[in-house]
Structure 1
Amino acid sequence: MLAPKGSFPWQVLLNVDGGRAGGMVIDHKWILTAASNLMRGDNQILKSQVKVFVGDNNVRNLTQSTPLEVASLHIHPGYNNPNYLSYDNDIALIKLQKSLQFSSNIMRVCLPVKGAEYTIGRVGWVSGFGIRDDDIISKDLRFVRVPLVSQLTCRRSIDEERANRVIAPDLTDNMFCAGLPEGGKDACHGDGGSPYVLKYGEFTGLQGSTAGV
């Protein structure tokens, strides 16, 4: 669904070496994304190859603005995925040169407390600027509501895919699953590193980021 203007103010559009990816604002100088966005095989890309855009839900408006200057890239030391089959520890930070000025259109997402757990079946939101369901890359921010799924259910689904000779990455204890049994609602190419958020009380907070999409 099309995200209303001003919604998901933590959403980040990344242009990484000419390709599209996602991220989220977690503090005045810090963007959280997927490590897989910033790696090419065994090699980390250069910070000059990363363009960061925030503050609007329209891609044209974002990319016509001046990208935020990147100070440094920080890949999780445990991430090792040269063949794009193991997304364990698929997390990275982008540090900005200058602090963001928070407003109604730019805001950090609330991070979960250490050890936070959520009820299976609870519905959250995935947002991103990736490919739409008609295989056209989106001009605007879109979102979809999907529920949390148990690790057991998710692993069974992966096993079924592998039984059909589909190559599927491993599910580890560092990951969680969200989706529908019938499929059809998910993150898409270009959404990798974007947030999956849940509402907790009066606040909307990060549960995790989409990876490997």
Structure 2
Amino acid sequence: SSHFLGCQSQQPACGRAVKNSRIFGGQDATPGSWPWHAIVVNYGPYGYIQCGGSLITNQWVLTAARCLPSSSYNTVVHLGRYNQSGSNPNELTQKVENIVCHPAFSYNWLYDNNICLLKLSAPVIFTDYIQPICLASGNSTFYNGTSSWVIGFGYDDNQQFSNILQEVNVPILGNNECRCYFGDYNYWLSKITENVTCTRPKVGWKGPCKGDQGEPLMVKKGSIWVQSGITSYGYCGGLLVYTRVSQYQKWISDTVTGTPPGFVTFTSPGADSDSNFTCLTSPSTTIPAPFNTTVSTPLNTTVSTPLNTTISTPLNTTVSTPFNTTVPTPLNT
């Protein structure tokens, strides 16, 4: 029921979205539906890079490490934004005073440990439109087919950045099956390890695209929303790979100061159909292109060339089609 956690003596003070009335997929969100949604903008000498993120306490934001260049110049976080070009009466902008990326992450083409924490310059006051999300604890399980949601302002079907925050329902794709589609190679993408989780499109090609790196992958447990992943790389609207948040509970807890984040155990029912999955054919040798970090103009400012966001051509741009549908353009330009 919607009050799944209501009878517990210590209900987590996270994951509550009072404005979230309905969820379908591939559509405009409504204001306040995802009150932990954050926009991370890193300004540099040649422009800026924009990614997504999630508010996890009153002073810390979780995002992907690749959203931030190795040298940070000026990073700000926008909370409560719903409209990229119109008014956002519930928006709050905070400067970032400290950036802590995972020590095992490297600024090359590898994507393992693609996780970063941002400390805001001051604590925020929670409203119906600004709330923290709960995080999946280390003993959580997300079996193949688990219904999940992802949001963002990234590219739409017209290869343009969305003006209104988008939401889409995507099922978890088990890691064994995910390896069959991505292969298990280590050129400039990390392997499909236990540090990541995957999703596939529910209908057609709907899902994250360019500009959506760092956005949260989420699941609902009763009335509480729990973040299971951080958007990392993949194909627009197709197979996507996320940093698995539950693998980093200790690192997050050790890093965050002040109010601790709320960790919730999500347990998938039944048996995991992916546990005994074997590939029907040999894994594809195709390497998908990473998310390009070129961004739209959310702040009504002229943007020059972004920070060294040119991405080399992938090894092979011919992609086998796992769902008997036309494969969309990879997430590069």
Q: How would you bin the TM-score normalised by the shorter chain? A: 0.7 to 0.9
RMSD value, Cα:
2.3
Per-residue deviation at 1:179?
1.2
Contact 1:35–1:79 (CA<8 Å) still a contact in 2? yes
Partner of 2:50: 20
1:202 lines up with 2:202 in the alignment: no
Contact 2:217–2:229 (CA<8 Å) still a contact in 1? yes
1:138 lines up with 2:162 in the alignment: yes
Listed as ranges, the matches of 1:95-174 within 5 Å are 95-159=119-183, 169-174=190-195
Relative to structure 1, the CA distance from residue 154 to residue 181 in structure 2 (aligned partners, 3 Å threshold; closer, same or farther) is: farther
Give the distance between the partners of 1:179 and 1:11, measured in 2 at CA.
22
Give the distance between the partners of 1:122 and 1:181, measured in 2 at CA.
11
Structure with max Cα Rg: 2
Segments of 5+ residues of structure 2 without an aligned counterpart are 1-26, 234-290, 292-333
Cα displacement string for residues 48-100 of structure 1 (whole angstroms, at most 9, x for unaligned residues) = 1x2210113112335xx673111110110010141x2x211000001001101
Partner of 2:62: 32
1:186 lines up with 2:216 in the alignment: no
Aligned to 2:94, the other structure's residue is in SS state coil
Identity of aligned residues (%): 29
Length-normalised TM-score, structure 2: 0.56
Count of residues in correspondence between the two structures: 201
Cα displacement string for residues 107-151 of structure 1 (whole angstroms, at most 9, x for unaligned residues) = 000111222112210111100111112101111110111000111
Segments of 5+ residues of structure 1 without an aligned counterpart are none
Partner of 2:100: 74
**4+ long deviations beyond 6 Å:** none
1:52 lines up with 2:77 in the alignment: yes
Give the distance between the partners of 1:151 and 1:182, measured in 2 at CA.
20
Out of 3, 28, 31, the residue aligned to residue 2 of structure 1 is: 28
Tell me which protein shows more strand as a share of its residues: 1
